[in-house]
Structure 1
Amino acid sequence: MKTKVLIDLTPHMDDLVALLKDCVASGASVGFLPPVESQTAHKYWQEVATTLTAKPSTRLLIAAFEGEQLVGCVQLSLASKSNAKHRAEVEKLMVHTQHRGNGISKALLSHLEEEALVAGRRLLILDTRVGDIASELYKRMNYTEAGYIPDFALSATGELDGTTFFYKMLS
């Protein structure tokens, strides 16, 4: 397995669409409700692709590959306000269900943290649904739980789920 920063998503669009659909279908809270239509997923990734090539770029996408197949990704959203250029947000950490349990999430986060430092970002923030397994990963990766907000996002069951906020100071 290898990770790398992607700028051109075009060659990976089919894998990215499949990844988003798979993660949402398996219950991931990443801004979509199941089922995600292929057209909706494709449009989302096209919008992300536009932000990756914007000048100045405010987003990085790090992808994980098994051979030539993209099996996971995470995004780093760089704060652009003049008083916030020291921080970034970790967004949409996703690993295909067939490839979970192999350290891919940890590798993606480690690579993301390296890229954040290169970009001059010392503070990372993120949120995840209360009770998600991702919370344990973030704790193992030395992210600090900062609190939660109830009724933050609609779930596939129609319930409103809370979200837990985490942060990490990089050095």
Structure 2
Amino acid sequence: MGGDGYAVGLVTAEELHGAAEELAGLLVDTVDGGASLGFLAPLGQDEATAWWRALAPEVAAERLLLWTVRAQADGRLAGTVQLRPATTANGRHRGEVAKLMVHPADRGHRLAGRLLTALEEQAAGLGLRLLVLDTETDSPAERLYEAAGWTRVGSVPDYATDPAGVPHPTTIFFKALGG
């Protein structure tokens, strides 16, 4: 999926291993910028690289799907998102969206929306009918999900901390997919 000089693609386990350092740099920058992604600051490059590499077996087993968006001119990583299809017998119709991030230098090009669209299309193709996610309440991401047609369920006080360790409420969203 391309346009405006960017291309979105699904990442294989082999590609993930090779891109782990670049993905780690994006994660470190995003956490340093204050995004609540499950990590505390300061997040080291080595720790972040190891975290990404540890995901390769899950990607290989298709328990985790991972997309990146790259600048077509130079192949530079601009963003990423993950989908975790549920594995329980009564939940195989749903999945969880996680770790949506776009590099600050690439914001304003609707890349987060493109990543979500790619994820939603693939999820529907896999037979998933329901997606869920959580994000920090009152964050820019919350507005993105609302604009992309996600439905707010509610918020949970002090659900997660920001990178400085300060608790914040989290808003839960869902999106029903066609079919």
Q: Which amino acid aligns with 1:151?
A: D
Superposed CA deviations along residues 90-130 of structure 1, whole A, max 9, x for unmatched, are 00001111111111000000000011011110100000011
Residue matched to 1:142: 149
Contact persistence 2:41–2:164 (CA under 8 A)? no
Aligned equivalent of 1:49, options 56, 74, 85? 56
Q: CA deviation at 1:2?
A: 0.6
Q: CA deviation at 1:50?
A: 1.8
Q: How do 1:83-162 residues align onto structure 2 when only pairs under 5 Å count? A: 83-162=90-169
Q: CA deviation at 1:38?
A: 1.0
Distance, in Å, in 2 between the alignment partners of 1:52 and 1:158 is 29
**Can you give the 5+ residue segments of structure 2 that lack an aligned partner in the other structure?**
1-5
Number of aligned residue pairs: 169
Distance, in Å, in 2 between the alignment partners of 1:161 and 1:19 is 23
Residue matched to 1:6: 11
Contact persistence 2:40–2:165 (CA under 8 A)? no
What's the RMSD between the two structures over aligned residues? 1.0
Q: CA deviation at 1:159?
A: 2.0
Q: Which amino acid aligns with 1:17?
A: A
Residue matched to 2:3: none
Aligned equivalent of 1:64, options 65, 69, 92? 69
Is residue 2:25 matched to residue 1:18? yes
Contact persistence 2:35–2:163 (CA under 8 A)? no
Contact persistence 2:94–2:129 (CA under 8 A)? yes
Tell me the SS of whatever aligns to 1:139: helix
Tell me the SS of whatever aligns to 1:168: strand
Contact persistence 2:35–2:162 (CA under 8 A)? no
**Can you give the 5+ residue segments of structure 1 that lack an aligned partner in the other structure?**
none
Q: Which amino acid aligns with 1:129?
A: E
- Further displaced range: 73-82 or 39-48: 39-48
Q: Which amino acid aligns with 1:70?
A: L
Contact persistence 1:15–1:71 (CA under 8 A)? no
Distance, in Å, in 2 between the alignment partners of 1:158 and 1:19 is 20
